[in-house]
Amino acid sequence: MIWTLMIIAGIITFLMRYSLIAIIKPESLSVTTKKVLTYVPSAVFPAIIFPAVFLNKNQSLQFNTYEVYAFILALIVGYFTKNTILTIATGLVSYWFLSYIL
């Protein structure tokens, strides 16, 4: 029962979001709007990542955790290699390794 409700909720959410995207024709957008929309992923991604990396369970900033160290290592690898898969793998492996050690 719960899985059915979750799948239905997911389908409804997808259709609501997709309908807004499907209605807008790219040709109808101005050059300025298209340029502004290219910044949306860069603005949303840090808002998703920041709480998971830098906030503890009490919602206070904490910089001395293995999440932060794994994030910094993944950031360095991503900056120098420009390889998304390698960056994700580095972050995951370093997170797992540090959480096992600490």
Domain boundaries of the chain, sorted by first residue: 1-28, 39-101
Q: Looking at the predicted structure, is the pLDDT value of residue 100 above 80?
A: yes
pLDDT value of position 47 = 87
- At residue 75, the pLDDT reads 92
Q: Any long-range contacts for 1-5 (C-beta under 8 Å, 24+ apart)?
A: none
Average pLDDT value for residue range 24-45: 86
In angstroms, rounded to a whole number, what is the distance separating the alpha carbons of residues 15 and 9? 10
* pTM score: 0.62
pLDDT for res 79: 94
| pLDDT interval class at 54 (50, 70, 90) | confident
Phi-psi region of 98 (alpha: psi -120 to 50; beta: other; left: phi over 0): alpha
